[in-house]
Amino acid sequence: MGASEAALPISSGAFAPQFRTNLRSKFSSICCVKSSNDRQYGCMQQNGVRILKSYFRNRVIRNVDGLFEEEKQRTRSESLRCKCSQAENIRGAFLEDGSRRLVNGLANDPNLQRQHLKYEKGNLLSDDGLTAATSNVFGANSIEDEAWSLLRASMVYYCGNPVGTIAANDPSDSNTLNYDQVFIRDFIPSGIAFLLKGDYEIVRNFILHTLQLQSWEKTMDCHSPGQGLMPASFKVRTVPLDGDEDATEEVLDPDFGEAAIGRVAPVDSGLWWIILLRAYGKSSGDTSVQERIDVQTGIKMILKLCLADGFDMFPTLLVTDGSCMIDRRMGIHGHPLEIQALFYSALLCAREMLAPEEASADLIRALNNRLVAMSFHIREYYWIDMKKLNEIYRYKTEEYSFDAVNKFNIYPDQIPPWLVKWMPNRGGYLIGNLQPAHMDFRFFSLGNLWAVISSLATTDQSHAILDFIEAKWSDLVAGMPLKICYPALEGEEWRIITGSDPKNTPWSYHNGGSWPTLLWQLTVASIKMKRPDIAENAIKVAERRIATDKWPEYYDTKGARFIGKQARLFQTWSIAGYLVAKLLIANPNAANILVNVEDAELVNAFSFALTANPRRKRMRKGPKQTFII
Ligand code: GLC
């Protein structure tokens, strides 16, 4: 459909439901007009015409406050007009420094403005300069105060409204790459911190604006990303308005991986989006966002993309390398645990939020079947502890039968020597990946923690995972919580699996580096299992250095002794992760906005699946099992 064809129904307000869906998926870009003369955001009536003209020439938008409905359209212009006056207060916050990085969100804080001035004058502050600025300005009363000020300083505004936080605000780094963008996954701890503070607006805006970006028509070479895909990141750009020298417009420009290093697909973005949406509703009590027709459609589109049939034999989600937090080649293609845990959590969150309606019955059935199959698969086949390792050690191979014990034909020689030494007598964990004849025995923190949080792991397994983290404290927490994975790939393995990636050298970055942001996920998991002391101890470790080290993105070496070689400083999700951990320890009940409690129906279906466990007997004939919950 051409843009001009879309114009009519938008202004008439007469939309068949079918058309809404089509329009959502085809067009998604957002812009907001700003006049350079009066420096007003162009949200008023007369500019409105211009906005629409511009949209129809280039792109067609979805509306923030009520998609495609005349009634709501009016609400939108009203609310935009009122937002414009807010925009006046923070307009000064939009400034680009010498390296064209947006330095946002400073205008309301006079102290930060001072810091901002330094950016303007000297372009970039020295590291020491910023430390001095932050400690003088905030009195360095506490690490938390500093963290809040830095988090607020990382806020990104669109049309004068907060819509996210930039990935890093490192004044010492002239090569920003895409760290000046709002990453979906990086915003999650920021969003949770704001929710826990009762600051709901930025999260609501983030949810609705990223929804507008879903399924963008951009392509990589001649290929478009699947409908329902959420971008990895977006940037607010100020661009001249076509045909008007005096005006500029702000545009939200998403990246679905088509510009990202390695062109990696952000599979986790949509899953995080669903998880945040539920957290927003639970925290604010405002369920009107999740009930909106466009939001419901957004949830369904993500689910459809993830639940689509493929060639796979497993119920887990099949993805390419680098499709999540580890967003470069690290040998995690296939069925990485992180994606499975987030997928499982997102399915449970979506099930809670989807409006019960006839049209969604098939989707909900597919979702329920997948939940049962996934929990069975992960709990059975990803779990390792001393007992299971010993079983694998004695596996028979080449079993061609429906009753095979060693279903994936794992050769016992695959058990790596480091694991034989490393596995404690108490505790266990879910392995990183499972493929035919291949178990990736590495320990991945995010996947294991989120398996606890989402109840993908059983209660016993969840406790065992925490036991394991305690037993392996000096490896996993070491000098800075938490190691992204253990152990690092070294030597020939590093060369072959990472493609000799100089950023992922052993014990650095994604290859066994330590990431402070993971502290908040450790906190949620340990609170869920009523063992907050684990998180408290980890927070103490982080507090020894994190602020004096200037909130690095990651740490290097086996013991996390050095700030990462290429780590950004003032990395927002390191700051927000710390804040979430502190806020949750102070108010553990608030962790419920993130936790998925296993429901009884699922447990029943799971035990039914266990009794029909094909390891014991497999019904070769008869109808395919389905579990209706
Ligand atoms: C790195 C991380 C990725 C994060 C991005 C922005 O690429 O691997 O997970 O989203 O930086 O901070």
Q: Return the C-alpha torsion angle 387, 392, 395, 400, nearest 10.
A: 120
31 with 51: CB under 8 angstroms? Answer: yes
**Is 80 exceeded by the pLDDT of residue 561?**
yes
Decide if 321 contacts 329 (C-beta within 8 A).
yes
Statement: residue 225 has pLDDT above 80: no
Give dist(CA 502, CA 351) in Å, integer: 42
Contacts of 177 (CB under 8 A, 6+ apart): 261
User: How many percent of the chain have pLDDT more than 70?
Assistant: 72
In angstroms, rounded to a whole number, what is the distance separating the alpha carbons of residues 153 and 101?
A: 13
Protein residue with least CA distance to atom 3, ligand 1: 325
pLDDT tens-digit map of 140-163:
359 999 999 999 999 999 999 999
Ligand 1 atom closest to the CA of 233, numbered from 1: 10
Q: What does the pLDDT look like over 352-409, one tens digit per residue?
A: 999 999 889 999 999 999 999 999 999 999 999 999 999 999 999 888 888 888 888 8
Provide the 10 A C-beta neighbour count for residue 285: 9
Asked whether the predicted pLDDT for residue 234 surpasses 70, the reply is yes
Strand, coil or helix: 391: helix
| Token representation of residue 513 | 């580096």
How far, in Å, from the CA of 327 to the mean position of ligand 1?
Answer: 7
Q: Ligand 1 atom 9: the closest Cα is on which residue?
A: 325
Contact between 111 and 149 (Cβ < 8 Å):
yes
Site residues for ligand 1, CB cut-off 6 Å: 167, 183, 185-186, 325, 327
Residue from 226, 179, 233, 237 nearest 206 by CA: 233
Count of H helices and E strands in the chain?
A: 24, 15
Q: How far is the CA of 242 from the centre of ligand 1 (A)?
A: 34
262: which DSSP letter? G
Flag whether pLDDT at 87 surpasses 60. Answer: no
Which numbered atom of ligand 1 lies nearest the CA of 168?
Answer: 12
Query: pLDDT per residue over 262-305, tens digit each?
Result: 777 899 999 999 999 999 999 999 999 999 999 999 999 999 99
pLDDT digits (tens, 9 = 90+) for 436-457: 999 999 999 999 999 999 999 9
61-66 contacts at long range (C-beta below 8 A, 24 or more positions apart): 61/27, 61/28, 61/29, 61/30, 61/31, 61/212, 62/23, 62/24, 62/27, 62/28, 62/30, 62/211, 62/212, 62/294, 64/30, 64/205, 64/208, 64/209, 64/212, 65/208, 66/292
Give the per-residue pLDDT at 216.
52
**Identity of the highest mean pLDDT range in 140-144, 189-193, 218-222, 234-238:** 189-193
User: For the whole model, what pTM was predicted?
Assistant: 0.80
Instruction: Report the percent of the chain where pLDDT is more than 90.
Output: 60
- What is the number of the ligand 1 atom nearest to the C-alpha of 327? 8
Q: What residues have CB less than 8 Å from 496, skipping those under 6 apart? A: none
Residue whose CA lies nearest to ligand 1 atom number 2: 325
Name the residue at shortest CA distance from atom 12 of ligand 1. 167
Q: How far is the CA of 325 from the centre of ligand 1 (A)?
A: 6
The answer to whether 262 touches 268, Cβ cutoff 8 Å, is no
Specify the residue for token string 């399924």. 215
Residue 88 has pLDDT above 80, yes or no: no
Which mutation among 165, 327, 445, 569 tests ligand 1's pocket best, with the greatest number of atoms within 8 A of CB?
A: 327
Question: What is the arithmetic mean of pLDDT over 31-38?
Answer: 50
437's CB contacts (< 8 A; 6+ apart) are: 408, 409, 410, 411
More confident position, 108 or 349: 349
Give 335 Cα–ligand 1 centroid separation in angstroms.
20
Q: Which two tokens stand for residue 124?
A: 């970039």
77 Cα–ligand 1 center, Å = 36
In the DSSP assignment, the letter for residue 385 is E
